[in-house]
Chain A
Amino acid sequence: MAGNTGTYLIRGAAILGGEQGDLLIRNGLIAETGTDLSAEGATVIDAAGLVALPGMVDVHTHLREPGREDAETVETGTRAAALGGYTAVHAMANSTPVADTAGVVEQVYSLGQKAGWVDVRPVGAVTVGLAGEQLAELGAMADSRARVRMFSDDGICVHDPVLMRRALEYVKAFDGVVAQHAQEPRLTAGAQMNEGEVSAVLGLAGWPAVAEESIIARDVLLAQHVGSRLHVCHVSTAGSVEIIRWAKERGINVTAEVTPHHLLLTDDLVRSYDPVYKVNPPLRTDADVQALRAGLADGTIDVVGTDHAPHPSEHKECEWAQAAMGMTGLETALSVVQHTMIETGLMTWADFARVTSAAAAKIGRLEDQGRPLEAGEPANVILVDPAARWMVEPSLMATMGRNSPFKGMELPGKVVATFFKGHPTVLGGALNTPYRHAASVGAA
């Protein structure tokens, strides 16, 4: 096995929040599980009171590189990911240049390997330049070293129904998935926030729920018609949950994601006109929040995706209408999900492992991620202190983005350690060292 991995004995962790057990990590794998394992030759980590979970997999991350290195780089974004408990992230395609060629996705992939904090799996653009006119070379990206399986114009909806149909059909050739940013563009021209009671008072142009729901309804029917795989990014409304539930009941091959912020925050926060709450899709109502939680708990929504979207401060220190959309999320996701789903009794830690790891890895077709914590499996493991409470302070985060909507909130749960391919990228709640890939970058 490659890299700078050592031997670690995790002693007495609650495995998936259940029974206590030990995990022996050696040569990048979980070598042994059980109780009272021998510590010989191993660095022992006392995990009493900690929960052991599979490394989290984010299906939706904006790393901004190449092009907007003032907002985030692969290095800083993946440091944030490791601290947040992630061992893999999907880097969205809306970089500059757009990740719509094999060259760009390989660049991002290489930057991820060089950084060594997590697996960086580039997402390829569906259309050239995200312009929604012509399919990008999806096959070339799939065949590249980056082995792209997820394709998305995220930030922009593939709104042309014919183009969407073709994309869904085409990715079947290499087991790909189209991840749709569901937003009917004509219904959302100039939209600033959720359309409803609050937007009426604030005089901000509305982003109606129907603009999301109508696209999802169309897309699940297209996916059924062509027999392909659809993923719906950042589902934000109660109606969307209903449509996806209906589609799954009919056997349509659709998966869906929800962001941590849509599980907790509502459009009432926009009354402050503070652009830290500006995001796309927008924060919705409490009824939507409750429906999203229920949908995640019952499996209608498959995964939590952060939609981590760092922005430089000048893009948020301005008028609401001028501000960029997006929030950071990698370093708060675990805590927000614990707060909204586990502490409310809606989910267990085993469910958490499903929605933050196993199901996400399956959508992205990441073979070495989201695996059970069993002997012989890759050692992508995190240790979480569920009893910890902490105050969110964006200036202390590893991401370059300071645009966390959770600023000042006290949240539960802290990542104590992250093992990536058997190497501790995070120890004692702080960054350790990156994993070093044995094969030199670019030698594939």
Chain B
Amino acid sequence: MKHLLSTENLSLANAIRILDTAEEMAAVGDREVKKLPALRGRTVVNLFFEDSTRTRISFEAAAKRLSADVINFAAKGSSVSKGESLKDTAQTLSAMGADAVVIRHWASGAPHRLAATDWIDAAVINAGDGTHEHPTQALLDAFTMRRHWARLAGTGSEGADLKGMRVAIAGDVLHSRVARSNVWLLRTLGAEVTLVAPPTLLPIGVDKWPCKVSYNMDETIEQGVDAVMMLRVQGERMNASFFPSTREYSRRWGFDDNRLRALDALGMKDTIIMHPGPMNRGLEISAAAADSPRSTVLAQVRNGVSVRMAALYLLLSGDTREPAATPALAYTGTHSTKESN
């Protein structure tokens, strides 16, 4: 792997490798000294064209635990807002010797542009681009699910996939980079994904995606589900007639107290509730659901640091070989060592 731009073309072997490496990194977080010397002398730039404190500090913590030097470049209030182009910014960072660029951008495909052009030679990690992808979020979600799934199976996580796990992803799929990255990665890991959303918030063309689509949250729960991932609903969607009101949205598509009770009533005691954050309590998720023992919200945040450490380590440690597929695993992903195009 030279870059981590999307999960669409991430092979099963590379996905498992990142998740397994993240398990090793998680162990570092449990130590008294939470630091490895692995990336000493390497420079990681957090290039953020869009505000995202959570993702930025997660990457920052990850890089620092690996002893990398971290530069935070918030493009708002910088030369970028004075009209400097992505090209000039990239070339500037290149001249300063960046080894990796973690880029968050409001424009879909901006990380691909950095990786595909000769503007900069650094490894590029997509930290969320427009409504396209957010691969490290999907990886931390998968990491969280895998631990849960392995625990239920009474096995270790290492080398495991998500075969047979039923995952519902609910909410604004149309505008969600988290949903896209999850659909591709969960497919690769063998999970069964159902998207639950109002028809207005599903993209035209979703019928070609490797998942099921439902307009009915209750039916999806009744049919059995092992993880429910609620997506954040942006307030501005309401003004564009994607749904009539926030209350109607909440009743039909939100994970409310009735649906929390339904999990219990249907005997799904091991079903987890996930959310990438930040949550709109009372809109797409009720407070009781968010705070229930089923909720993995904080575990997701914790795991985010481990997964980002793994991504940085694998991209910068110089070992870019494709790992041999674990014999126990069916190889369904694409054999590709590069993610671009």
| B81 contacts partner chain A, Cβ-Cβ < 8 Å | no
9-residue interface stretch from B22-30, B203-211, B270-278: B203-211
| A321 contacts partner chain B, Cβ-Cβ < 8 Å | yes
Q: Is B204's CB under 8 angstroms from A273's CB?
A: no
Q: Is A272's CB under 8 angstroms from B341's CB?
A: yes
Q: How many residues of A contact B (CB 8 A)?
A: 25
Q: State the CA gap A198–B129 with chains docked (Å).
A: 16
9-residue interface stretch from A115-123, A202-210, A294-302, A429-437: A202-210
Given A203-B132, A322-B107, do A274 and B209 touch, yes or no (CB 8 Å)?
Answer: no
Q: Shortest Cβ distance from B126 into chain A, in angstroms?
A: 11
Q: Shortest Cβ distance from A439 into chain B, in angstroms?
A: 46
Q: State the CA gap A192–B341 with chains docked (Å).
A: 18
Q: Shortest Cβ distance from A325 into chain B, in angstroms?
A: 15
Q: State the CA gap A264–B204 with chains docked (Å).
A: 23
Given A199-B203, A319-B86, do A204 and B208 touch, yes or no (CB 8 Å)?
Answer: no
- CB within 8 Å of B: which A180-211 residues: 192, 195-206, 208
Q: State the CA gap A273–B5 with chains docked (Å).
A: 12
Q: State the CA gap A314–B109 with chains docked (Å).
A: 17
- CB within 8 Å of B: which A235-287 residues: 271-274
Selected contact of B85 from candidates A192, A198, A206, A317, CB within 8 Å: A317
Q: Is A203's CB under 8 angstroms from B180's CB?
A: yes
Q: Shortest Cβ distance from A198 into chain B, in angstroms?
A: 7
Selected contact of A196 from candidates B116, B129, B133, B205, CB within 8 Å: B205
Q: Mark B115-157, 1 if CB is under 8 A from A, else 0.
A: 0110000000000011111000000000000000000000000
Q: Is A200's CB under 8 angstroms from B116's CB?
A: no
Q: Mark B54-97, 1 if CB is under 8 A from A, else 0.
A: 00000000000000000000000000000001110000000000
| A318 contacts partner chain B, Cβ-Cβ < 8 Å | yes
Q: How many A-B residue pairs have CB under 8 A?
A: 78
Q: Is B209's CB under 8 angstroms from A318's CB?
A: no
| A406 contacts partner chain B, Cβ-Cβ < 8 Å | no
Q: Is A320's CB under 8 angstroms from B206's CB?
A: no
Q: Is B105's CB under 8 angstroms from A319's CB?
A: yes
Q: Is A320's CB under 8 angstroms from B209's CB?
A: no
Q: Is B116's CB under 8 angstroms from A272's CB?
A: yes
Q: Is B204's CB under 8 angstroms from A319's CB?
A: no
Q: Is B107's CB under 8 angstroms from A320's CB?
A: yes
Q: Is B208's CB under 8 angstroms from A200's CB?
A: yes
Q: Is B113's CB under 8 angstroms from A320's CB?
A: yes
Given A201-B8, A320-B107, do A273 and B87 touch, yes or no (CB 8 Å)?
Answer: no
Q: Is A196's CB under 8 angstroms from B112's CB?
A: no
Q: In the complex, which residue of chain A has the Cβ closest to the Cβ of B341?
A: A272
Q: Return chain B residues, CB-CB under 8 Å to A274.
A: 113, 116
Q: State the CA gap A353–B233 with chains docked (Å).
A: 55
| B47 contacts partner chain A, Cβ-Cβ < 8 Å | no
Q: Is B130's CB under 8 angstroms from A321's CB?
A: yes
Q: Is B110's CB under 8 angstroms from A319's CB?
A: yes
Given A199-B205, A272-B116, do A204 and B87 touch, yes or no (CB 8 Å)?
Answer: no
Q: Return chain B residues, CB-CB under 8 Å to A203.
A: 108, 129-133, 177, 180
Given A201-B180, A202-B108, A203-B131, do A319 and B113 touch, yes or no (CB 8 Å)?
Answer: yes
Q: Is B87's CB under 8 angstroms from A318's CB?
A: yes
Q: In the complex, which residue of chain A has the Cβ closest to the Cβ of B204?
A: A195
Q: Which of A192, A200, A205, A317 has the most CB of B within 10 A?
A: A200
Q: Return chain B residues, CB-CB under 8 Å to A318.
A: 85-87, 113
Q: Shortest Cβ distance from A320 into chain B, in angstroms?
A: 5
Q: Shortest Cβ distance from A288 into chain B, in angstroms?
A: 15
Selected contact of A208 from candidates B117, B204, B206, CB within 8 Å: B204
- CB within 8 Å of A: which B43-61 residues: none
Q: Shortest Cβ distance from B240 into chain A, in angstroms?
A: 9
Q: Is B132's CB under 8 angstroms from A198's CB?
A: no
- CB within 8 Å of B: which A140-188 residues: none
Q: Is A273's CB under 8 angstroms from B85's CB?
A: no
Q: State the CA gap A320–B110 with chains docked (Å).
A: 7
Q: Is A202's CB under 8 angstroms from B204's CB?
A: no
Q: Is B8's CB under 8 angstroms from A319's CB?
A: no
Q: Return chain A residues, CB-CB under 8 Å to B112.
A: 272-273
Q: In the complex, which residue of chain B has the Cβ closest to the Cβ of A208?
A: B204
Q: Which of A203, A205, A272, A318 has the most CB of B within 10 A?
A: A203
Q: Return chain A residues, CB-CB under 8 Å to B132.
A: 202-204
Given A206-B204, A319-B110, do A200 and B86 touch, yes or no (CB 8 Å)?
Answer: no
Q: State the CA gap A145–B45 with chains docked (Å).
A: 60
Q: Is B113's CB under 8 angstroms from A200's CB?
A: no
Q: Return chain B residues, CB-CB under 8 Å to A195.
A: 204-205
Q: Shortest Cβ distance from B223 into chain A, in angstroms?
A: 24
Q: Is A320's CB under 8 angstroms from B108's CB?
A: yes
Q: State the CA gap A201–B205 with chains docked (Å).
A: 8
- CB within 8 Å of A: which B217-270 residues: none
Q: State the CA gap A197–B8 with chains docked (Å).
A: 14
Q: Is B109's CB under 8 angstroms from A200's CB?
A: no
Q: Shortest Cβ distance from B182 into chain A, in angstroms?
A: 13
Q: Shortest Cβ distance from B5 into chain A, in angstroms?
A: 10
Q: Is A319's CB under 8 angstroms from B109's CB?
A: yes
Q: Is B204's CB under 8 angstroms from A317's CB?
A: no
Q: State the CA gap A272–B203 with chains docked (Å).
A: 20
Q: Shortest Cβ distance from A164 into chain B, in angstroms?
A: 26
Q: Shortest Cβ distance from A96 into chain B, in angstroms?
A: 19
Q: Shortest Cβ distance from A214 into chain B, in angstroms?
A: 16
Q: State the CA gap A385–B209 with chains docked (Å).
A: 46
Q: Shortest Cβ distance from A174 into chain B, in angstroms?
A: 43
New A-B pairs, 18, CB < 8 Å, besides A199-B204, A319-B110 = A195-B205, A196-B204, A203-B108, A203-B131, A203-B180, A204-B109, A205-B131, A208-B204, A317-B85, A317-B87, A318-B86, A318-B87, A318-B113, A319-B107, A319-B109, A320-B109, A321-B108, A322-B107
Sampled A-B contacts (9; CB under 8 Å):
A192-B108, A196-B205, A200-B205, A203-B108, A206-B204, A272-B112, A318-B113, A320-B107, A320-B110
Please name the 9 residue pairs, one residue from A and one from B, whose CB atoms are nearest each other, closest first.
Answer: A273-B109, A200-B205, A203-B132, A203-B131, A200-B203, A319-B107, A197-B205, A321-B107, A203-B108
Q: Which residues of B contact A (CB under 8 A)?
A: 8, 85-87, 105-110, 112-113, 116-117, 129-133, 177, 180, 203-206, 208-209, 341
